[in-house]
Amino acid sequence: MTAHRIKDVSLLMALIETWEYFRTHLRARLGSDERGASLVEYALLVALIAVICIVAIAFLGNSASTKFSSVGSAVGS
């Protein structure tokens, strides 16, 4: 039973070492400069928010206009 556990632990250590090697290799190869990626993410978020606002105005525009008119009339009188 102990030999089986030692084999499992050594296999786990080998997998961890391999993962560390590939992670280091990929980080060195691809670089760690993520400024461009975050800029693209922010641009996509702004575009998504704009689309949601346009869709909300398109769907709720007429009923919101009616509601504002009735509130304006009530305040004005």
In this structure, are 77 and 40 located in the same domain? yes
- Same-domain status, 25 and 37: no
Phi, psi of 25 (to 5 degrees): -65, -45
Same domain, 39 and 68: yes
Are 15 and 49 within one domain?
Answer: no
Of 54 and 11, more confident: 54
Q: CA 7, CA 5: separation in Å to the nearest integer?
A: 5
How many domains are contained in the chain? 2
The mean of the pLDDT values for the chain is 78
Spatial distance between the Cα atoms of 5 and 11, rounded to a whole number of angstroms? 10
**What is the amino acid identity at position 35?**
R
The larger pLDDT score, comparing residue 24 to residue 4, is at 24
Asked whether residue 22 falls in the same domain as residue 43, the answer is no
Is pLDDT at 37 greater than 70 in this prediction? no
Is 37 found in the same domain as 24? Answer: no
- The answer to whether the pTM exceeds 0.75 is no
What is the average per-residue pLDDT within 29-46? Answer: 75
- Domain with 15, as residue range(s), is 1-32
